Amino acid sequence: EVQLVESGGGLVKPGGSLRLSCAASGFTFSNAWMSWVRQAPGKGLEWVGRIKSKTDGGTIEYAAPVRGRFTISRDDSKNTLYLQINSLKIEDTAIYYCTTLGGSYTGYWGQGTLLTVSS
Amino acid sequence: QTVVTQEPSLTVSPGGTVTLTCGSSTGAVTSGYYPNWFQQKPGQAPRALIYSTSNTHSWTPARFSGSLLGGKAALTLSGVQPEDEADYYCLLYYGGAWVFGGGTKLTVL
């Protein structure tokens, strides 16, 4: 059974930093293209970025609004995807989902982790 | 800035058929945009329904289908069930970035 479990969310002050994690199981993580998607309270879905598998070049792409502050990485030895967020803003408040978008394992989503940015 | 457009809301009767569309501010949507469709119910994570225009996942009910229609990506629900009431999002690929539509709230009434 495929599982994606996000963690690392919480309450953080503006200007701070945080790293979110997504633990994957039930499939060959190293072959998967992984994405982060976020959803602000009461709003729609927003694609944040994607990292391809190393065998497909490991390319990382970001949405324009987060480029420069967000960093996506992966540790295939730990089957884990990461999202480092720096210089946090109030508008970064959202549920952050990891998902397999594109590639061989497209279609799986985690349950999300809530990040609240507030002073 | 690229904008992906969806109907804000639609209403359908149980057993009926409804088509949701997904347009692009850049012009006609083609298979090269790899249209994806997702369903989201209140308090739940999104669930993938369709990828690459018309491909279904193993869990996608047979009443859901994807296509290209009049320059847009389309999601058709045939024989709508009460449990299909949800928000539906499309997603398009722009060669380096994915962009979600604003979502369609489907009411089954």
**Across residues B49-72, what is the average pLDDT?**
97
Find residues 46-105 of chain A whose CB sits inside 8 Å of chain B: 46-47, 50, 61-64, 97, 99, 101-102
Contacts with B1 from chain A: Cβ below 8 Å: 64
What pLDDT score was predicted for residue A111? 98
Taking an 8 Å cut-off on Cβ atoms, the answer to whether A108 and B45 are in contact is no
Nearest CA in chain B to A41: B43
What residue has token string 């847009």?
B72
Residue of B nearest to A63 (CA): B97
Query: From CA B50, how far away is CA B53, in angstroms rounded?
Result: 7
Please check whether residue A40 is in contact with residue A62, taking contact to mean a CB–CB distance below 8 angstroms: no
A103 pLDDT band, cuts 50/70/90, is confident
Cα gap A22→A93, rounded to integer Å:
18
Q: Does residue B88 register a pLDDT over 90?
A: yes
CA distance B108 to B100: 23
pLDDT for B96 = 84
Q: For residue B97, which residues of chain A lie inside 8 Å, CB to CB? A: 47, 61-64
Q: Give CA separation, B83 vs A52, B19, B89, in Å.
A: 34, 16, 16
User: How far is B64 from chain A, CA to nearest CA, in Å?
Assistant: 15
Contact B74, B21 (CB under 8 A): yes
pLDDT > 90? residue A5: yes
Q: Does A5 touch chain B (CB under 8 A)?
A: no
